[in-house]
Amino acid sequence: MEKYAVYVPRLIKRKEKFAPGHRACIGCGEALAVRLAFKALDNNIVVANATGCMEIVASQIPYTTWHVPWIHTLFENTAAVASGIEAGYKAMKRKGVQVPDNVKVIAMAGDGGTSDIGLQALSGALERGHDFVYLCFDNEAYMNTGVQRSSATPYGAVTTTSPAGKNSIGQFSWKKNMPEIAAAHNIPYVATACHSYPFDLMDKVAKAASIPGPAYVHILSVCPTGWRSPTDTVVKLGRLAVETGIFPLYEVENGQYKMSIELPKLKPVKDYLKQQGRFRHLSDDIIAKIQERVEIEYQKLVEKAENGSKRAKRKSKTGAAKIST
Amino acid sequence: MVKLTINGREITVEEGTTILHAARENNIYIPTLCENEAVAPYGACRLCLVEITTARGRERLVTSCIYLVEEGLTVRTDTERIGRIRRMLLELLLARCADSEVIHDLARQASVTRTRFTKQTGNNKCILCANCARTCEEVVGVAAISLARRGVDREMTTPFNEDFSEVCIGCGSCAYSCPTSAITLEDTDGTRVINWPHNQMEFKMKACSVCGKYWAPEKQVEYVARTSGTPLSDYDACPDCRE
């Protein structure tokens, strides 16, 4: 879709499933990501939404932002509820109850609901192979309760539970690599996306929904409130996160890695870190340490993608040889 | 607001909605190929046929993508008669475009596995829905391609059937809106090739002055600059590098 960029905005669906008027903060990247993700899906869906920003801002009684069937679940059981809905539809069909065909179950949660509290339910659902899509909207901390650290908070970031000071540099551990954990379940489709690349995001969500079996999409969502950044830099920060290699965009389809955006040269991570208040305290040697780590991780990923394409080529070659004989 | 019944379900929609959109809003599935929200309804593929009974008791078969809702209308989308007609349409489409994945999928849904008609060759995957030509004219505003001739000779083509269209800007919207991917687009170092069913055209791409990435066809950049009244120098850098 990226290629057609100029006229595609006028050719995509106009109907919103995530209506305006919700109570997200100014410049919320997550609301933007949710809106785009649901534009890529059709009407035939049921959403299970974990506690988190998107549940809080979109469903204050007696109002709702959702134009699709939507269930609020707890932090820990989003994936369990989603698999229950899917199993329920199957059972009803088997018993001969009239239910609509091809209903896709969408589970969505924040980074806390995915990588901390909801991880075991997610792992179980991925392992059992339910036909559902799991969307993780990652804003790198528990934002709706007032910025507490999660396992998705990057190294060095300030949150209220990982403050920076004389004896602390903020978050002390590296960001948990959630897409890799999902990919380790050998599911058909895993992808990372960012709202700053809207067509890429929409393509990936649509692809995830079209594939039978579990799919996982990890979406980086910039949060100006928690990241202590100006509200007008949301899209720019998302692009910088990708361009610096901190949040690489890739997909894993049946174990084959593929980079979504080719970056010949990574931008220095300093460009990204220095625009956010949560990294304001970082000294140059800590930034150098982060830079080193980002490069290593990015290189690992590129190698995986290259090895995958080589293997695929070899496979197609042997396949062609078989046909000729 | 207008009240109507679709498959026994009473629904209320705004006046001026088509039956297809009313059904879709209420999760009632009607197959279609040529429907596109961005352009005016056209009714080319006929797959969205439904049976209606008007408030005065008149029964008809109509294409739901162009028929507007009326008070007291009764619509049935899955009767035996419609199933028969739809299966025939799909057989005809299968005979016309045997390579199209999308048509095969639709046929499979309607349990059509083979076609009784002679398979045609040389059509590529085009079903003559004119989505491309309509998008080109209504959304992009250049009208570089159109449907030419009539009856069995009708085809999607460039003016005078040449491998060149003077007004085409190479944006690729036709390829995007094509429901059966009969039009394809390939970008390779500095050139873009658009493959229409019977013609092919090459475009030179513009390189970004900062990162050197080829980001849009030169003709498209010129067209955007001209229609928006901005100087061409504004478009030297790609959207990623632009300040």
Positions of E strands within chain B:
2-6, 9-13, 49-53, 59-63, 73-76, 146-148, 155-157, 184-188, 191-195, 200-207, 214-217
Q: In the A/B pair of chains, how many CB contacts fall below 8 A?
A: 45
* Pair (B46, B136) in one structural domain: no
CB atoms within 10 A of CB A143: 25
Tell me the pTM. 0.86
Q: What is the reported pLDDT for A2?
A: 59
Type of residue found at A308: G
* Pair (B147, B56) in one structural domain: no
Tell whether B98 is covered by a domain.
no
What is the share, in percent, of chain A residues with pLDDT greater than 70? 94
Residues of chain A found within 8 Å of residue B203, distances taken between Cβ atoms: none
The whole domain housing B222 covers: 131-235
- Average pLDDT of span B208-232: 88
Interior angle at CA B32, CA B91 and CA B105, nearest 5 = 55
**B1 alpha-carbon distance from chain centroid:** 29
Sequence spans of domains, chain A: 2-324
Task: Please state, in angstroms and rounded to a whole number, the distance separating the CA atoms of residues A241 and A276.
Answer: 12
Output b/e per residue, A190-218; b: 16+ Cβ within 10 A.
Answer: bbbbbbbbbbbbbbbbebbbeeeebbbbb
Tens of pLDDT, residues A2-30: 566 677 778 888 888 999 889 999 999 99
* Strands A215-220 and A132-138, bridge-based pairing: parallel
Q: What is the reported pLDDT for A289?
A: 95
**Average pLDDT along chain B:** 90
Tell whether B23 is covered by a domain.
yes
* Strands B191-195 and B200-207, bridge-based pairing: antiparallel
Highest mean pLDDT among A269-278, B22-31, B122-131: A269-278
Residue A162 CB partners (closer than 8 Å, separation 6+): A149, A153, A168, A170, A171, A172
CATH assignment at residue B27:
3.10.20.740
Query: Interface pTM (ipTM) of the complex?
Result: 0.78
Q: Is B173 on the interface with A (CB under 8 A)?
A: yes
pLDDT over threshold 60, residue A152: yes
CATH no. of A2-324: 3.40.50.970
Q: Where are the alpha helices (DSSP H) in chain B?
A: 19-25, 80-96, 101-109, 131-135, 173-177, 218-228
Tens of pLDDT, residues B169-199: 998 899 989 999 899 988 888 899 999 988 8
pLDDT over threshold 50, residue A225: yes
Residue A229 CB partners (closer than 8 Å, separation 6+): A222, A237, A275, A276, A277
Task: Please state, in angstroms and rounded to a whole number, the distance separating the CA atoms of residues A181 and A113.
Answer: 15
Tens of pLDDT, residues A55-64: 999 988 889 9
**A37 alpha-carbon distance from chain centroid:** 10
Tell whether B146 is covered by a domain.
yes
Are the CB atoms for A118 and A75 separated by under 8 Å?
A: yes
Interior angle at CA A223, CA A217 and CA A228, nearest 5 = 150
* Pair (B73, B158) in one structural domain: no
* Pair (B141, B229) in one structural domain: yes
Tens of pLDDT, residues B2-14: 999 999 999 999 9
Please report which confidence band the pLDDT of residue A316 belongs to, taking 50, 70 and 90 as the band edges: low
Task: Please state, in angstroms and rounded to a whole number, the distance separating the CA atoms of residues B171 and B142.
Answer: 11
Q: What is the reported pLDDT for A308?
A: 76
pLDDT over threshold 90, residue A77: yes
Q: Is B172 on the interface with A (CB under 8 A)?
A: yes
Tell whether B215 is covered by a domain.
yes
Residues paired with A193 in a beta bridge: A219
Residues of chain A found within 8 Å of residue B30, distances taken between Cβ atoms: none
pLDDT over threshold 60, residue B206: yes
What is the share, in percent, of chain B residues with pLDDT greater than 70? 99
**B25 alpha-carbon distance from chain centroid:** 20
- Average pLDDT of span A265-288: 93
Q: What is the reported pLDDT for A322?
A: 43
* Closest residue by Cα to residue A224 from A135, A140, A114, A108: A140
**Average pLDDT along chain A:** 90
Number of domains observed in the structure of chain B: 2
Q: Is B140 on the interface with A (CB under 8 A)?
A: yes
Residues of chain A found within 8 Å of residue B140, distances taken between Cβ atoms: 7
Cross-chain CB nearest to A7 (options B36, B171, B185): B171
pLDDT over threshold 80, residue B242: no
CB atoms within 10 A of CB A20: 8
Residues of chain B found within 8 Å of residue A16, distances taken between Cβ atoms: none
